[in-house]
Structure 1
Amino acid sequence: MSEAKGKHVFVSYVHEDAAQVDALCSILEAAQIPYWRDRKSLGPGDAWKAKIRDAIRDGSLVFLACFSENSRAKDKSHMNEELTLAVEEYRKRPPGRTWLIPVRFDGGDVPEWDLGAGRTLSDLNYSDLFGPRYAPEAASLATTIHNVIGEKQLSPAAALEAVEQATSADRADLLKRLTKEMLVDPARRIELDDLVSQEVQRVLAVLTDADRVAATVGGTGNEQVVRYATEAQDLWELTKPFCASLQVAARWGSPDELVPWSNGIRSFVQAATKITGGTTALLEMRHLPGVVSIMAAGLACASNRRWDNLKVLVADTTIRDRHESKPLGLLEATSPHAPFDQQEWTTNTLARSVMSGISFEEAIEGITSNRLTKFYTPAADWMFAILRPIFQDQLPDEDSYAAEFDRAEVILGVLAQDLVNVRLAVGEGRGWGRSRWFGRSTWRHAQHRGNALEDLKHEAEREGAKWGPLRADLFGGERARAESAISEYQEIFERISMNRF
């Protein structure tokens, strides 16, 4: 959306950087930001110097000065003339007004142009459009520009949409990087909350779509499995950005900062319990965003020993259940088995596909023909595989990741057992008599690959009242409650493990 007249962004660059500027302008267009660029905004026969001067002085509300090795290598360039005019205009503007924004296409220095009053161009905040930070920097730049020239401010969520649309950037990586930046900056907390809420609404829009769950799934048995597996994968891709942001917040945020993520998890689980008609398998699959988010929170918190955050995100969060007069804890309202009850073929297809790098069609054909084996805990193994990339930076070692995943499974399972114990002790509700949070840690224990539950038990016994979960007021801060929950969960855990041989 180039503009030769009216308010616009003026893009100044050397022509050797045309490819990088093409990408920048694609982002501006996606964000609906008008811009002025010489090769697009000059018509045949135009007096180019006069046109550029007018574009800078009369219509430019933001001036982007793009620097690179190419621009620094030139002693003479049209960009230098444009910068001279830009500096003159900058000096006329009130101090602190955003107008001149340096953009770097590489890691070189911003030139020391004299801006007057002891200031130089390198003193201004600049945007780095290169390397792994390209996407979040581009989103931040689009937000800043729109806030300066737009009649309506561009939200961080809209900026993220624009960058994703204009580049091949992964949305989960974008949101993760933006969360890292915004979480530590109190001035950007409202923006971050809005960004997370936007992701939650994206997921909820699908979970509450009555037409989606009412769809009839026809075809052969294998074709139906592929359809259900595709549905599950789509739900995961939709939830993945939220989980990527959650992984950062759960590790580094404080409990009072986690409200957007806690509300998101609650909303996912609540939506899955809503009564509506439809295909049973698709209705059950509504549990998937909530379960995967709980597992992501558990893994992030347990591996960083952020028991205070686990309490806020999972243990203390409740929903209104249609069968109960009082709120029901998340870990009772859902479980790793809830999205796929009686869907053994679907979960095995999902797990085999992601772990072997084959299509759903190849996976189900291989399983039904006995060329490929089934998994003991396919739903848990699938979650283990799909969450791996999100936790790559936190747990780069495969063995460490597997051990921490086991730890997260058992702490969630023990907390679920504690919720059951508390409810049954006072005679409330129909409740299950046991935790339903069991997964791959059971077969890993059976195959002598570690016993996360025994480790947790020994840790609790060794540290006593100083045990981290108790100090964070999990289990009500009561040692006896924790011991009872661990003991009852262990009894079932051992029984399940024995069946894995």
Structure 2
Amino acid sequence: MSQIEGKHVFVSYVREDNEEVDKLCQVLEAAKIPYWRDRTSLGPGETWKAQIRDAIRRGSLVFLGCFSDNSRAKERSHMNEELTLAVEEYRQRAPGRTWLIPVRFDHGDVPEWDLGAGQTLSDLNYADLFGDQYAAQAASLVTSIHGVMGDKQLGPAAALEAVEQATSADRGDILKRFTKEMLVDPTRRIELDDLISQEVQRVLKVLNDPDRVAGQFGGTRDEQVIRVVEAATELWELTEPFCASLAVAARWGSPDTLSPWANGLRAQVQAPLKIQGGNQGLLEMRKVCGLLSIMTAAIAAGSSRRYDNLKALVVDPSVRDGHLPKPQSMLEATDPWAPFDSQEMTANTLARGVIASKPFDEALKDYTERRVGNSYTPVSEWMHAILRPVFLDQWPDDDSYTTEYERAEVLVGVLAQDAVNVSTAATPEMRGWSRSRWFGRSTWRVARYGANSVEDLKQELATEGQQWAPLRAGLFAGDMERAKSALEDYGNYFAEISRNQH
């Protein structure tokens, strides 16, 4: 990649930043972007000034000026000479076209180089290749560069793969950033749809892999528990990038733009419902992907009061269970406890390990040796803990996140109860036997802390009536009596469970 004929990216830097530039060039190589760098692109005996001038003026599609405290500390450097040539070239190019891109390796300022027409170098959009946002910024950078390269353009899905390959990056951060950038740009809607579809396929490939669920468990009881817990952790790590993107879309999108996420969510819920042979514990554990995605959508849409988005993502889609004669709503088909098959030991080990940041074998000993009290709702506690980082940019404080998490949990529970009520309407005798299973941490916290999201929703409906926002968005089919019935039924079950936990 160093001796490149034709068009390329010119990388300008000071020698003290070799390590950071090496990392940048690894990203460019992974993204199949030709680059020119003096350390590798100058042949023996070549006149470096002439070669650099030619590389900047004739061959460069993009000029990357890399800045750091090292470059700012130098009054004289070859980089300054390269920037002078770049500015001259920039002034001759048509306005509005991307060519000169500053890159920062730290928080310092981009220099105030005069670009003419009242513009300086610091006015240009720059990439920050440092800190937690390195991967996301690198992905945006290579996408921008490929946009300039025309027929060689790299889509966001390929950019994500390239940056992850080169940096071992956090895929969720990259996907979240792409979603934020592309969701508001109608011209990139097809690219965004393809990106999300690719992410869903990554998840489905694992969920539909028969080798992952084949065979019977061996080993001791504790070893079997750890295996299931590790499977749950792996599936969350697989699903987290989709959830990171979904959290953005559910909050800022609109029903007409949400089909990639709605289809992906439905596919995650549907896949484990297909009749398949294998280890029952691992088969059931596959349901955590859809479960976590539903909760992500509920928190994001519910907290922003985008009930129309909540309806499009988790209420309207239906799935088919191979054991049932007709399709079900996703909420009716999803039982938060199902992945653990009511295995209190497994669920407590998982929750304790994540919340206390303990190895799972130690968390299991906490449970079996009764070192700490067991959780009433370990599945909910686990979800509350692992979803927290997804929403960290929305709620820096834990209390606000917890309030919205519990409200979303209850709202999903009420909507699931409504789905049950509708499906059993023709058989009233079944109504007492069918209920929502979406009960979580708020069932025990209501007695301890007093916050009751069920009563809050009831009060909202009583006060606002037909103008209640969920009804106006089409939840409960816009029927106030139906909403009252679902709230009343769910509230009764909620109170019963809460009493039994104290």
Q: What pairs up with 1:72-471 in 2 under 5 angstroms?
A: 72=72, 74-87=74-87, 89=89, 97-105=97-105, 106-114=107-115, 124-130=124-130, 133-149=133-149, 152-167=152-167, 169-426=169-426, 433-471=434-472
CA contact (8 A) 2:133 2:173 kept: no
Question: 1:473/1:8 Cα in 2 relative to 1: closer, same or farther (>3 Å)?
Answer: same
> Which amino acid in structure 2 is aligned with residue 490 of structure 1?
G
Instruction: Give the Cα–Cα distance (whole angstroms) in 1 for the partners of residues 368 and 74 of structure 2.
Output: 66
Question: 1:121/1:302 Cα in 2 relative to 1: closer, same or farther (>3 Å)?
Answer: closer
> Which amino acid in structure 1 is aligned with residue 359 of structure 2?
S
Instruction: Give the Cα–Cα distance (whole angstroms) in 1 for the partners of residues 493 and 203 of structure 2.
Output: 34
Q: Which residue of 2 aligns with 1:62?
A: 62
DSSP 3-state at the match of 1:434: coil
> Which amino acid in structure 1 is aligned with residue 25 of structure 2?
C
Percent identity (aligned): 65
> Which amino acid in structure 2 is aligned with residue 47 of structure 1?
T
Instruction: Give the Cα–Cα distance (whole angstroms) in 1 for the partners of residues 473 and 248 of structure 2.
Output: 20
- Compare 347-356 and 96-105 and name the one that shifted more: 96-105
Cα deviation digits, residues 157-183 of structure 1 (max 9, x gap): 221222233335422222223322322
CA contact (8 A) 1:255 1:309 kept: yes
Question: 1:361/1:188 Cα in 2 relative to 1: closer, same or farther (>3 Å)?
Answer: same
Question: 1:114/1:403 Cα in 2 relative to 1: closer, same or farther (>3 Å)?
Answer: closer
Cα deviation digits, residues 33-86 of structure 1 (max 9, x gap): 222211122344333223323433454333222234544554543223333444
> Which amino acid in structure 1 is aligned with residue 334 of structure 2?
T
DSSP 3-state at the match of 1:374: coil
CA contact (8 A) 2:102 2:110 kept: no
Instruction: Quote the offset at 1:228 in angstroms.
Output: 0.7
> Which amino acid in structure 2 is aligned with residue 298 of structure 1?
A
Instruction: Give the Cα–Cα distance (whole angstroms) in 2 for the partners of residues 6 and 118 of structure 1.
Output: 33
CA contact (8 A) 2:135 2:169 kept: yes
CA contact (8 A) 2:115 2:121 kept: yes
Instruction: Quote the offset at 1:134 in angstroms.
Output: 3.4
Structure 2 portions without partners, runs of 5+ = none
CA contact (8 A) 1:63 1:86 kept: yes
CA contact (8 A) 2:417 2:435 kept: yes
Instruction: Quote the offset at 1:477 in angstroms.
Output: 0.7
CA contact (8 A) 1:8 1:61 kept: yes
Instruction: Give the Cα–Cα distance (whole angstroms) in 2 for the partners of residues 81 and 315 of structure 1.
Output: 61
- Report how many residues are paired: 499
Instruction: Give the Cα–Cα distance (whole angstroms) in 1 for the partners of residues 95 and 302 of structure 2.
Output: 48
- Compare 60-69 and 490-499 and name the one that shifted more: 60-69
Instruction: Quote the offset at 1:11 in angstroms.
Output: 0.8
Instruction: Give the Cα–Cα distance (whole angstroms) in 1 for the partners of residues 389 and 93 of structure 2.
Output: 47
Question: 1:84/1:296 Cα in 2 relative to 1: closer, same or farther (>3 Å)?
Answer: same
Q: TM-score, normalised by structure 2?
A: 0.91
CA contact (8 A) 2:128 2:137 kept: yes
DSSP 3-state at the match of 2:17: helix
**Given the alignment of the two structures, is residue 483 of structure 1 paired with residue 487 of structure 2, yes or no?**
no
> Which amino acid in structure 2 is aligned with residue 176 of structure 1?
K
- Compare 300-309 and 270-279 and name the one that shifted more: 300-309
DSSP 3-state at the match of 1:439: coil
Instruction: Give the Cα–Cα distance (whole angstroms) in 2 for the partners of residues 435 and 114 of structure 1.
Output: 63
> Which amino acid in structure 1 is aligned with residue 438 of structure 2?
W
- Compare 221-230 and 166-175 and name the one that shifted more: 166-175
DSSP 3-state at the match of 1:33: coil
Q: Which residue of 1 aligns with 2:501?
A: 500
> Which amino acid in structure 2 is aligned with residue 357 of structure 1?
S
Instruction: Quote the offset at 1:489 in angstroms.
Output: 1.3
Q: Which residue of 2 aligns with 1:36?
A: 36
Instruction: Quote the offset at 1:5 in angstroms.
Output: 3.4
Cα deviation digits, residues 204-232 of structure 1 (max 9, x gap): 11111111111433111101111110010
CA contact (8 A) 2:129 2:138 kept: yes
Q: Which residue of 2 aligns with 1:10?
A: 10
Question: 1:123/1:487 Cα in 2 relative to 1: closer, same or farther (>3 Å)?
Answer: closer
Cα deviation digits, residues 347-404 of structure 1 (max 9, x gap): 1110010111111111112211222332111111111111112222323333332232
DSSP 3-state at the match of 2:2: coil
Instruction: Quote the offset at 1:198 in angstroms.
Output: 2.1
DSSP 3-state at the match of 1:485: helix
Question: 1:95/1:391 Cα in 2 relative to 1: closer, same or farther (>3 Å)?
Answer: closer
> Which amino acid in structure 2 is aligned with residue 474 of structure 1?
L
Q: What pairs up with 1:18-29 in 2 under 5 angstroms?
A: 18-29=18-29
CA contact (8 A) 2:4 2:34 kept: no
Instruction: Give the Cα–Cα distance (whole angstroms) in 2 for the partners of residues 395 and 62 of structure 1.
Output: 38
Question: 1:364/1:70 Cα in 2 relative to 1: closer, same or farther (>3 Å)?
Answer: closer
> Which amino acid in structure 1 is aligned with residue 20 of structure 2?
Q
- Compare 336-345 and 413-422 and name the one that shifted more: 336-345
> Which amino acid in structure 2 is aligned with residue 272 of structure 1?
P
